[in-house]
């Protein structure tokens, strides 16, 4: 097992996955999952190496640009590779019903196939396992999302993804007592347009829920300073720090969460978050949240599921922008696409009413 799974899961967790799963061998160049193929099982790579491929979409501006980089059309582009211990097909746990990419073996590989229904039942009935498993997936998704952003931004000046116009879909997971805790422990903060909310590469002290307004998520182009550069700056007290150039890559709208890395230990955010317009946020202190999640394991499992759902949606939307899929910018597009399972989600008005109840309780 890889570092992430070994760090997050217990031996009992791993034993359970092995007991319900089936090991198969995938020969080099063989396809494990086809793009747009229905997802009904989870894959864990035990040995070897796999790669994710995506078909170019000639109707997509980014898809055409991506094809032009290698002077080919109608090609399949490799997005990233999977190493031993990576989880594949996790989207089926978060309403994503079809695979956004093709998964192909780069080398002879051994894969553990875990039936989704068995896994979903185990996650539902064992909140401790759910917390550990969702945290592991969150880390994997964060790594993939940031890797893919950097890969794309090396070739394009702009990579803006349309706002996810109804983040209230995430409230499908919350209970009323979860919302009450959020309201009582959170701090309403107001930001003017252009004001910095979360700096990149610094510890995040709060998890933020967007109540009103629009936020901009930016990735810094400049590479991290080397140790020599850090000491050189420290030795020169009169030197002024320069703000490295950044690229706007995504937005956050009411109902969405930013600063999600606050829930992941020792993980520094790679994106800078600023207010694109006057905005109102609910700041939930990291230490209070983690302490409460440690005491309330069922709430913890719901929160980490929300985190992984958000990351899964963001990654799927980014992949869709690059290749075959359409830009799934708002909830209507998101839910009407064949990639998402409508039956697994509560009626949208129920999610909106939960979010509206937060706004009313906070007098926002």
Lowest model confidence (mean pLDDT) among 63-67, 91-95, 122-126, 238-242: 238-242
How many other β-carbons are positioned within 10 Å of the β-carbon of residue 362?
Answer: 15
What is the predicted pLDDT for the residue at 240?
44
Q: Which residue has the higher pLDDT, 174 or 19?
A: 19
Mean pLDDT of the region 114-120: 94
Does residue 181 sit in the same domain as residue 143?
Answer: no
Does residue 198 sit in the same domain as residue 91?
Answer: no
Does residue 145 sit in the same domain as residue 176?
Answer: no
* Closest to 304 (Cα-Cα) out of 289, 318, 317: 289
For residue 97, what are the domain limits?
3-153
* DSSP assignment of 188-206: EEEE-TT-EEE-TTS---E
Lowest model confidence (mean pLDDT) among 31-35, 42-46, 175-179, 196-200: 175-179
- Answer yes or no: is pLDDT of 6 > 50: yes
What is the predicted pLDDT for the residue at 68?
55
Residue 331 resides in a domain: yes
Residue 227 resides in a domain: no
Element (H, E) at 215: strand 215-220
Name the DSSP class of 157: S
Domain end point (choices 126, 153, 180): 153
Q: Which residue has the higher pLDDT, 76 or 28?
A: 28
Q: Which residue has the higher pLDDT, 42 or 69?
A: 42
**Cα dist from 287 to 206, 207, 230, 265, 297, whole Å:** 8, 10, 29, 11, 16
Instruction: Identify each DSSP E strand in 62-151 by its residue range.
Output: 76-82, 87-88, 102-105, 109-115
Number of domains, the chain: 2
Q: What share of the chain is helix, strand, coil (3-state, %, to 5)?
A: 45, 25, 35
Condensed to tens digits (0 to 9), the pLDDT of residues 161-203 reads 555 544 566 677 788 899 899 999 999 999 999 999 999 988 8
- Answer yes or no: is pLDDT of 233 > 60: no
| pTM > 0.85: yes or no | no
State how far the Cα of 8 lies from the Cα of 3, in Å rounded to an integer: 8
Condensed to tens digits (0 to 9), the pLDDT of residues 126-165 reads 999 999 999 999 999 988 988 888 776 665 545 555 555 4
State whether the Cα torsion 184-186-262-276 is positive or negative. positive
Does residue 294 sit in the same domain as residue 345?
Answer: yes
Does residue 125 sit in the same domain as residue 148?
Answer: yes
What is the predicted pLDDT for the residue at 328?
44
pLDDT band at 59 (very low <50, low <70, confident <90, very high): low
Residue 324 in contact with residue 200, Cβ under 8 Å?
Answer: no
Domain end point (choices 98, 118, 153): 153
Q: Give the relative orientation of helices 176-185 and 286-295 as an angle to the nearest 10 degrees.
A: 150
What is the predicted pLDDT for the residue at 241?
44
- In the chain, DSSP finds a helix count (H) and a strand count (E) of 11, 16
Residue 217 resides in a domain: yes
Does residue 213 sit in the same domain as residue 300?
Answer: yes
Does residue 147 sit in the same domain as residue 256?
Answer: no
* Percent of the chain's residues with pLDDT above 70: 73
CATH, residue 127: 2.60.120.10
Lowest model confidence (mean pLDDT) among 126-140, 208-222, 324-338: 324-338
Does residue 142 sit in the same domain as residue 171?
Answer: no
What would the two tokens of residue 298 be? 């069922």
Residue 235 resides in a domain: no
């Amino acid at each position: 097992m890889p570092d992430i799974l070994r760090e997050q899961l217990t031996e009992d967790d791993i034993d359970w996955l092995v007991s319900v799963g089936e090991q198969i061998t995938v020969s080099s160049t063989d396809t494990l999952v086809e793009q747009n193929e229905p997802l009904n099982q989870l894959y864990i790579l035990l040995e070897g190496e796999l790669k994710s491929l995506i078909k170019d979409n000639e109707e997509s501006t980014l898809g055409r640009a991506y094809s032009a980089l290698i002077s080919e059309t109608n090609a399949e582009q490799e997005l990233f590779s999977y190493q031993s211990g990576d989880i594949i097909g996790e989207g089926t746990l978060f309403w994503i019903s079809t695979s956004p990419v093709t998964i192909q073996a780069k080398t002879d590989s051994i894969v553990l196939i875990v039936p989704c229904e068995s896994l979903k039942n185990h996650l539902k009935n064992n909140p401790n396992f759910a917390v550990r498993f969702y945290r592991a997936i969150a880390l994997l998704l964060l790594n993939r999302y940031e890797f893919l952003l950097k890969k794309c931004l090396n070739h394009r000046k702009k990579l803006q993804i349309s706002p996810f116009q109804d983040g209230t879909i995430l409230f499908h997971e919350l209970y009323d007592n979860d919302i009450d805790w959020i309201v009582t422990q959170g701090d309403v903060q107001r930001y003017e347009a252009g004001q910095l909310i979360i700096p990149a590469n610094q510890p995040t002290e709060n998890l933020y829920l967007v109540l009103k307004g629009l936020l901009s998520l930016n990735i810094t182009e400049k590479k991290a300073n080397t140790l020599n550069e850090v000491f050189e700056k420290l030795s020169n007290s009169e030197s002024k720090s320069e703000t490295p150039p950044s690229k706007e890559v995504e937005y956050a709208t009411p109902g969405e969460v930013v600063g999600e890395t606050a829930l992941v230990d020792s993980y520094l955010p790679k994106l800078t978050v600023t207010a694109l317009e006057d905005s109102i946020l609910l700041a939930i202190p990291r230490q209070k949240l983690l302490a409460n999640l440690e005491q309330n394991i069922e709430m913890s499992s719901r929160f980490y599921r929300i985190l992984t759902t958000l990351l899964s949606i963001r990654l799927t939307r980014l992949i869709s922008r690059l290749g075959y899929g359409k830009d799934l910018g708002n909830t209507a597009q998101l839910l009407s696409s064949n990639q998402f399972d409508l039956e697994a989600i509560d009626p949208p008005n129920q999610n909106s009413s939960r979010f509206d109840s937060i706004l009313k309780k906070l007098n926002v």
